[in-house]
Amino acid sequence: MISKPEWLHIRHSNSQDREAVEELLKNLNLNTVCREANCPNAYECFTRKTATFMILGTNCTRICPFCNVSNGEPLQIDLNEPRNIAEAVKTLGLKYVVVTSVTRDDLPDGGAEHFAKVILEIKKTTKDVAVEVLIPDFMGDNDSLKTVVRAFPNVISHNVETVKSLYPEVRPQASYERTLKVLRNIREFGEGKIHSKSGVMLGMGETEAELYMLFDDLLENGCEFLTIGQYLAPSKRHFPVHDYIEPEKFEKYGEIARQKGFAFVSSAPLVRSSYHADEALKTE
């Protein structure tokens, strides 16, 4: 295993704000992708009184070799979750909220109706709040995606994660073409009023040419916002890091993506799909 470079070492510090957020999440029985996926920015986001809520339990029905989220028997849906998330949003005084989920292929709609309930409850409880949802592919089911669209979040994100050639190894239960179709349909079903977003991880063995082809594919399928970050293997059991990309290259890739036509690009080693997500809407 290659050594992690200095620019990827994160220095944590204790914070009363972080502790307050963690206590609130515990009291409301809420999960965050920050903790479940072992996000490197969790401490910073908690300190800023932000979090990406993860709904539909903590056990995913898919096994992706890059992901730290647990795989196992799906948990029963918490019917109080929409109300509890809305309460957390109001208590924290958030103006921008990100909601994601584990993949629930066991549910007929993939959890789409629950996503919609969370969105609507947040907007009912807190005025002038922007909501972004990071959704699974719902097995390509258009009706499920339309259910989320009808709740009218500001941004719908669906991560491509990696280049097409690496899908069989990195996302064996997903499909590159299906991912692009989801992004295309977000724009179509939302009639251009809902922003479409995706994210990609680098350092998994992709080439520059493949990355640029990915940019073109995303743009051709209506993707407006893009995040680019370094892949970090959660453990030795996960998909290995092929290489660590230098910060200067992330700047280069970000600039190329902007030149190609993305409305917003965040590109740096520690960028994740929901990191400072509110900045994208500030570009409007």
CATH superfamily of 13-283: Aldolase class I (3.20.20.70)
Instruction: State yes or no: pLDDT of 137 exceeds 70.
Output: yes
DSSP state for residue 30 in the 8-state scheme:
-
For residue range 89-117, list pLDDT tens digits in order.
998 888 888 999 999 999 999 999 999 99
Instruction: State yes or no: pLDDT of 32 exceeds 80.
Output: no
* Rounded-to-integer distance, Cα 239 and Cα 253, Å: 23
Output the six-digit token pair for 61.
């029905």
Lowest mean pLDDT among 46-55, 67-76, 77-86: 46-55
- What is the 3-state secondary structure of 154-190? CEEECCCECCHHHHHHHCCCCCHHHHHHHHHHHHHHC
Smallest Cα–Cα separation from 52: which of 20, 96, 87, 82? 96
Q: What is the DSSP pairing of strand 59-60 with strand 70-71?
A: parallel
- Predicted local distance difference test score (pLDDT) of residue 18: 63
Considering only residues 223 and 75, tell me which one the structure prediction assigns the higher pLDDT.
223
**pLDDT classification of 255: cutoffs 50, 70, 90:** very high
Domain ranges across the chain: 13-283
Share of the chain above pLDDT 70, in %: 87
* Rounded-to-integer distance, Cα 162 and Cα 23, Å: 35
Smallest Cα–Cα separation from 89: which of 55, 56, 131? 131
Q: Where are any strands of DSSP class E within the chain?
A: 31-32, 52-55, 59-60, 70-71, 96-101, 130-134, 155-157, 195-202, 225-230, 264-267
238-264 per-residue burial string, b: 16 or more CB within 10 A, e: under 16: ebebeebbeeeebeebbebbeeeebeb
Considering only residues 160 and 21, tell me which one the structure prediction assigns the higher pLDDT.
160
Phi, psi dihedral angles at 165 (to 5 degrees): -65, -25
The region that residue 128 occupies, defined by phi over 0 for left and psi between -120 and 50 for alpha, beta otherwise, is left
* Rounded-to-integer distance, Cα 39 and Cα 43, Å: 9
Output the six-digit token pair for 24.
């609130």
Considering only residues 280 and 256, tell me which one the structure prediction assigns the higher pLDDT.
256
- CB atoms under 10 Å from CB of 97, counted, come to 29
- Predicted local distance difference test score (pLDDT) of residue 86: 95
Residues 6 or more apart from 79 whose CB is under 8 A from it?
none
- Predicted local distance difference test score (pLDDT) of residue 73: 87
| Rounded average pLDDT over 168-184 | 96
Instruction: State yes or no: pLDDT of 46 exceeds 60.
Output: no
Phi, psi dihedral angles at 92 (to 5 degrees): -80, -10
Output the six-digit token pair for 141.
């089911």
**What's the pTM?**
0.90
- Predicted local distance difference test score (pLDDT) of residue 157: 97
Name, of 70-84, 121-135, 211-225, the range with top average pLDDT.
211-225
The region that residue 49 occupies, defined by phi over 0 for left and psi between -120 and 50 for alpha, beta otherwise, is left
Q: Within 13 A of 4's CA, how many CA atoms are on the CB side?
A: 13
Do the beta carbons of residue 158 and residue 183 sit within 8 Å? yes
**pLDDT classification of 6: cutoffs 50, 70, 90:** confident
- Predicted local distance difference test score (pLDDT) of residue 68: 79
As a 3-state breakdown, the chain gives helix, strand, coil percent values, each rounded to 5, of 40, 15, 45
Instruction: State yes or no: pLDDT of 41 exceeds 80.
Output: no
* Rounded-to-integer distance, Cα 201 and Cα 273, Å: 10
For residue range 138-151, list pLDDT tens digits in order.
999 999 999 999 99
**pLDDT classification of 49: cutoffs 50, 70, 90:** low
